[in-house]
Amino acid sequence: MSHRFCQFSDLVENQARGFRSPVGEVVLVQRDGQVYGYQNSCPHLGINLEFNPDEFMDVENHYLLCSNHGALFRVEDGHCVAGPCQGESLLAVPLQVVNGEILLASEP
């Protein structure tokens, strides 16, 4: 059975939340009716993105932020647009939304 993260309705538009899962720590972020999932591991040093629980967004809630050295990542594809790992990307975590629940999708 797939791992369940939370209800889609538990997420807030342009906000992110951290979760533990069978594939490690994951950050989920919701925008425009879509949910995106990434490994909570900065491509710069391979450490967690946040200093405080669930603080993953920049001040404008536009980009995912690594609090360590300020790298900014696009919500839609995890691509780093600024910071020491510019050009690299967060690792995407495959998700499925079934009956309003966000699940870890099995790998194809």
Nearer to ligand FES, 16 or 71 (CB): 71
Residues 80-99: x/- map of binding to ligand FES (CB under 6 A)? ---xxx--------------
Binder of ligand FES out of 28, 42, 102, 104 (CB under 6 A): 42
How near is the Cβ of 46 to ligand FES at its closest, in Å?
A: 8
18 makes contact with ligand FES (CB under 6 A):
no
Position 44 contacts ligand FES (CB under 6 A) = yes
The closest alpha carbon to 96, from 13, 28, 40, belongs to 28
Separation of alpha carbons 72 and 40, rounded Å: 13
Q: Which of 16, 64, 71, 90 binds ligand FES (CB under 6 A)?
A: 71
From candidates 45, 82, 92, 98, binder to ligand FES by CB under 6 A: 45
